[in-house]
Amino acid sequence: MRKISFFAAFLFSLVWGNLLPVIAASDRTESSIEVFFNDPYEKNRDDTLQSMIIQEIKDAKNRIYVATYNFTDTKSAQALIQAAKHGVEVRIVIHSENSDSDVMKDMIRSGIKVQKSDSDGLMHSKFIVIDNDLTISGSANMTPGSFFYDNNYMFRIYSSEINTLFQDEFNEMFISKKFGSASPRTKSSPAITLEDGTRILVRFAPEDNISSSLLSLIQASQKSIYVLAYSFALNDLGNALIDRYDDGLDVMVIFEGEKAFSDSGGEARYLQRAGVPIFMDGSGDSLMHEKVFIFDESVVSAGSYNFTRSADTKNDEQVLIIQNEEIVDAFLDEFDKIYEEAK
């Protein structure tokens, strides 16, 4: 088992500020966090993400709020339709251009309320709020591609405090119809400590300036920075990685191969020229859809947020910055798995 560095507390203080309060989370049992990964390299279809989400939908008692960029998975849709028939309040926020699929039409016909985005960017969030204490958040859209064929992850978090933060973000879009750069500037939430000892910082784009938090963590790291990047086109982050590599840190970046050198303003070429070890994922026609930083094998940043200017300034996104030994170990194992397939 890898050990969490004492330096992680300092990394967090740079992002949160020493004077920010820490909220102790509480919920119906013990607040906790788990992370789930799919395995697109398996010969048989891996339904880990889909099964976890559907089971939590089936167990919902009062409400299910879904924010997703795309929704084409019929099994998840049927689970939501059944939940609504049993009296659960089901609401969906979706990127407008993906709102007319047959699956979405079926849910709308069943009475599920849907809010389409109205924004200069993407409604790119991927989270589910269930009842008053459960939140599911990660990189997967509600699609068969995300569940079975592309590398993705989802967190399952039991915490009423984190649930409230995500409910507020959902209501900002669903009720107030505030999307993207129109999102209101609010005071960033403090760190939350779960009863299992996990420390979590929840951040939303564009209002929380996520790139600034990541930049602080890059600059504070002392030993290593590992990155899984579906899309990477933020110059400040790319330059900071080059600087830390020149400082002697162990820096590695695995890109989604189809996008690494085709993204406008992408950082892959600059990192490569600077000598930073970069790799292309080996998933073939599937996508390495993960968006992850691992700092000093101590802190993980992961969510829907790609490392791009649009994600930082125009899109609706969510990120969790997490200090938890088991979560970090799980992401290190995921990084190693993708690295073994990389080119």
Model confidence over 290-317: pLDDT tens digits? 999 999 999 999 999 999 999 999 999 9
pLDDT, average across residues 193-214: 95
Taking a C-beta distance cutoff of 8 angstroms, is the pair 71, 77 a contact? yes
Domain made up of 7-341: CATH architecture: 2-Layer Sandwich (3.30)
Q: Which two tokens stand for residue 72?
A: 């084409």
**Whole-angstrom Cα distance, residue 140 to residue 73?**
12
Residue-level pLDDT at 12:
58
Confidence of residue 89 (pLDDT cuts 50, 70, 90): very high
SS3 189: coil
Confidence of residue 189 (pLDDT cuts 50, 70, 90): confident
Residue-level pLDDT at 311:
97
- Of 44-58, 104-118, 148-162, 251-265, least confident by mean pLDDT is 251-265
- Tell me the average pLDDT of the chain: 92
The secondary structure element, H or E, covering residue 115 is strand 113-116
User: Across the chain, how many H-helices and E-strands are there?
Assistant: 11, 16
**Whole-angstrom Cα distance, residue 76 to residue 95?**
18
Token pair 């690494």 is found at 260
Taking every pair of C-alpha atoms in the chain, what is the biggest distance, in angstroms? 59
Q: Is the peptide bond before 206 cis (omega within 30 degrees of 0)?
A: yes
pLDDT, tens digit (0-9, with 9 covering 90-100), for 205-226: 999 999 999 999 999 999 999 9
Q: Which two tokens stand for residue 331?
A: 């992401």
Q: Does the pLDDT at position 38 exceed 70?
A: yes
* Annotated domain spans of the chain: 7-341
**Whole-angstrom Cα distance, residue 112 to residue 81?**
7
pLDDT, average across residues 123-147: 98
**Whole-angstrom Cα distance, residue 299 to residue 317?**
20
Q: What is the number of other CB atoms lying within 10 angstroms of the CB of residue 266?
A: 21
